Amino acid sequence: MMKKIVTKAIVTAVSCVILLTANESHAAGFLTKYDNETGKQLHVELVGQYKSGADIGYGGTEIVAYDSINKYAFSVNGAAKAVDILDLTKLKEGNPEIPLIKQITLSDLGVSASDVTSVAIHPKGEYIAIAAPAENKVDYGHVVFLTKDGNYLSHVEVGSLPDMLTFTSDGSKVLVANEGEPNDDYSINPEGTVSIIDVTGDIHQLENKHVSTIKFNDEVIDQNVRKVNHENTYAVELEPEYIVVDEENKFAYIALQENNAIAKLDLQKQQITSVKSLGYKDFSFDRNKMDVSNKDDEIAINNWPVLSMYQPDGLASYKVNGQTYILSANEGDAQDYGGFSEEARVKDLKDSYELNADLYNGYSQEELDKMVNEGLFEDNQLGRLMTTTSAPKNANDKYEAIYGYGARSFSIWNTETLEQTYDSGSDFEEITAKVYGENYFNSNNDENSFDSRSDDKGIEPESVIVGNVQGENYAFIGLERVGGIMIYNINNPSAPIFTKYFSSRVFNEEEEVTPSSGDVAPEGLTFIPAVNSPTGQNLLLAAHEVSGTIAAYQIGIEVNVPEENETPDNPDNPDNPDETEDPEKDKDPAPIANDENHPKDEVIIPEKTKDDKIKEDVVEEKMKNKIEDAGEDKADDSKQTVSSTNHKLPNTATSSFNFILLGFMLLIIGLLVSRRTKEQ
């Protein structure tokens, strides 16, 4: 019983100190947070930043990968056409500035290349792989293998424009999405393919014979899969954008963004087994709403007669009850080249429409006709919306629906059928409207503007990743245009719950984005679980393409809880006489969950019995006051809160108070133990 008292009291003391320091950020930066108070809360804290030094808009940071062994990060630097190696261990020391160790440039790769587009790390941390398109993007590109110090190992040839690569989790293969974009005058349009590189042998001896090129066969492509240029074959039309692999390394799933489809690749047979269209999101009814005009001088998130393609960029996968699901960030994209373009505005095609109510769930034919007569194609309604000339037509050579790019959302799809189990509807625009109002709603990522993206794909969800925090599955979705990251609890694939929006972008009075604008345009996301993190806490790395920065955010608060039968570190313990190291260092941190009955960011302490319950009223009151003081002013919506916090360096006075409090707690523990001993 005494052991239980000591164990639980120590947990209480440590947890109190963690809670009291949780809102002290070690990074000098600005963080806006918007919470859903109806569900479980999640602590988010900006703890560090890397600045590439690239000019605004030149892609100083794009994709970021993490090495859990050396605690290094590898960042694609588009401005320098290089990979930057970063040291994340400094975060543990409370240093908010993430230092650059080394830069790997094109000249270090050992191949002729025009750019670096992607980087991935072998699951065992043995080496890195880099995607390098050819100097002429329509020619075959390369994947280059380097040591983690940036020294050349080998390279192989892959398809045209390798834009993304990833390892299988067993480290046996590298999968490469060869996008195969046409050149600008559209005279050359190479096939899009997927390369499978066998890396089971000596990486120094890797040759082209270890590469399998997977092409798209018409027999497995659904007839309703979109062609942008109907004169092309599917092999030419399909452009792989992103690849994600299931946990068993049996199947890979490939986003075909411009084609509004996902392909399934059997990794054992090394062949595409299906290519399925994702269909259209009907914005005419229910919770599918959007703002469609940048010329109406207001926020107007409404239902409209628009069928929009999902067109995902980033994908992620996770498993629930034995079933694998795909998450998609539905950015949207068009083919727009000098020699061919599908882009047009709705008003420019107004004479080409015969809207058909049978294609919409939200309107009757009478209602559609009335909307047209009342100015549907004017600039303050749908006239400004970007649409496509490659949409289906009827027998009269007319468009029967208005089509858009991107779903302005994230979705979840069942991998067995590719049927949608969930879509976030109009959440993203409605939430950011509450955060930014008529100042910066639907702002672009190169200017501090209002409503400038409503006519063109809105906030543009760019990337998505899944992380497990305190026993819960969360999706993190980066918004390319307005900036910031959405968090959803996705334990139930059919009913995710919005948890938090946060952003370290700074909107100021300057018209254009500058280095003082903070972190702008999240492009690549990487989640680092606490067990692999340099700080011992879950981290999210977000590479921001426009600002050329990487922000490191702490997600949640993990606390190590001693097992019930574990003896605390005690030099007098004869079973542990010389132990001086942390006995928890090799243990996975045990997550402590939050629930709706506890304040946000509160760590739940194990329930105490009558015999060993400690009187903590004073401490709990201090915790409550501390959390409330850190926080977040109530928004007009009583169910949600918005806060903008300028995080500063640690407050040493607060730290001293915490140590005094910890000492006080330990004194109480000693008195309790002494009293218990006398009673026995």
Residue 46 lies in domain? 29-555
Which secondary structure element, helix H or strand E, spans residue 162, and what is its range?
strand 162-167
What's the rounded Cα separation, in Å, for the pair 257 and 241? 6
User: 497 - beta bridge partners?
Assistant: 489
Residue 589 structure tokens: 């941190």
Q: Which of 520, 555, 590 is the last residue of a domain?
A: 555
DSSP code string of 164-228: EEEE-TTSSEEEEEE--PPPTTSS--PPPEEEEEE-SS-GGG--GGGEEEE---GGGB-TTS--S
pLDDT classification of 559: cutoffs 50, 70, 90: confident
> Which residue in 195, 194, 239, 235 sits closest to 217, CA to CA?
235
**Is pLDDT of 638 > 90?**
no
Query: pLDDT (tens digit, 9 = 90+) per residue, 454-498?
Result: 999 999 999 999 999 999 999 999 999 999 999 999 999 999 999
Query: pLDDT (tens digit, 9 = 90+) per residue, 114-151?
Result: 999 999 999 999 999 999 999 999 999 999 999 999 99
What's the rounded Cα separation, in Å, for the pair 641 and 628? 12
What's the rounded Cα separation, in Å, for the pair 190 and 306? 32
464 shares its domain with 332 = yes
10 shares its domain with 36 = no
134 shares its domain with 18 = no
Number of domains making up the chain = 2
Query: pLDDT (tens digit, 9 = 90+) per residue, 507-516?
Result: 988 999 999 9
The label of the residue with tokens 């993990």 reads 558
What's the rounded Cα separation, in Å, for the pair 495 and 518? 33
Query: pLDDT (tens digit, 9 = 90+) per residue, 271-316?
Result: 999 999 999 999 999 999 999 999 999 999 999 999 999 999 999 9
334 shares its domain with 472 = yes
What's the rounded Cα separation, in Å, for the pair 132 and 115? 6
Query: pLDDT (tens digit, 9 = 90+) per residue, 342-379?
Result: 999 999 999 999 999 999 999 999 999 999 999 999 99
Average pLDDT value for residue range 543-551: 98
**Is pLDDT of 385 > 70?**
yes
- Look up residue 444 and give its amino acid: N
**Is pLDDT of 171 > 70?**
yes
Query: pLDDT (tens digit, 9 = 90+) per residue, 415-468?
Result: 999 999 999 999 999 999 999 999 999 999 999 999 999 999 999 999 999 999
**Is pLDDT of 606 > 60?**
no
- Average pLDDT over the chain, rounded to whole? 85
464 shares its domain with 613 = no
User: 306 - beta bridge partners?
Assistant: 402
**Is pLDDT of 153 > 50?**
yes
Average pLDDT value for residue range 61-77: 97
159 backbone dihedrals φ, ψ, rounded to 5°: -80, -170
Average pLDDT value for residue range 573-580: 39
155 shares its domain with 91 = yes
447 shares its domain with 574 = no
CATH of the domain at 136: 2.130.10.10
Contact 57, 523 (CB under 8 A): no
What's the rounded Cα separation, in Å, for the pair 146 and 151? 5
Average pLDDT value for residue range 12-30: 43
633 shares its domain with 547 = no
- Report how many helices (DSSP H) and strands (DSSP E) the chain contains, helices first: 6, 35
User: 489 - beta bridge partners?
Assistant: 474, 497
212, 531, 584, 663, 677 from 671: Cα distances, Å? 70, 35, 26, 12, 10
pLDDT classification of 37: cutoffs 50, 70, 90: confident
Average pLDDT value for residue range 160-182: 98
573 shares its domain with 648 = yes
Average pLDDT value for residue range 309-328: 98
**Is pLDDT of 675 > 70?**
no
The label of the residue with tokens 């625009």 reads 429
Query: pLDDT (tens digit, 9 = 90+) per residue, 117-126?
Result: 999 999 999 9
pLDDT classification of 26: cutoffs 50, 70, 90: very low
503 shares its domain with 538 = yes
In 381-425, where do the E strands start and end?
386-388, 402-405, 410-414, 420-423
Q: Which of 506, 538, 555 is the last residue of a domain?
A: 555
The label of the residue with tokens 């066969």 reads 217
Q: Nearest-5° angle of CA 363, CA 369, CA 371?
A: 75
**Is pLDDT of 586 > 90?**
no
What's the rounded Cα separation, in Å, for the pair 317 and 460? 20
Query: pLDDT (tens digit, 9 = 90+) per residue, 204-235?
Result: 999 999 999 999 999 999 999 999 999 999 99
Helix (H, G, I), strand (E, B) or coil at 147: coil
**Which percentage of the chain shows pLDDT scores above 90?**
76
pLDDT classification of 41: cutoffs 50, 70, 90: confident
Q: Which of 492, 521, 555 is the last residue of a domain?
A: 555
56 shares its domain with 163 = yes
Q: Sheet holding 461-469: strands in order across?
A: 461-469, 472-479, 485-489, 497-503, 29-36, 640-647
**Is pLDDT of 262 > 90?**
yes
pLDDT classification of 573: cutoffs 50, 70, 90: very low
Altogether, the residues listed in the chain come to a count of 680
The label of the residue with tokens 């590189």 reads 197
**R_g of the chain, CA atoms, integer Å:** 27
**Is pLDDT of 662 > 80?**
no
Residue 513 structure tokens: 């984005």
- Look up residue 98 and give its amino acid: I
Contact 245, 317 (CB under 8 A): yes
| pLDDT at residue 582, rounded to an integer | 42
373 backbone dihedrals φ, ψ, rounded to 5°: -65, -25
Q: How far is CA 615 from the centre of its chain?
A: 42
The β-bridge relationship of strands 173-178 and 193-198 is: antiparallel
475 shares its domain with 571 = no
Q: Which of 2-11, 18-27, 657-666 has the highest mean pLDDT?
A: 657-666
Q: Which carries the bigger pLDDT value, residue 582 or residue 539?
A: 539
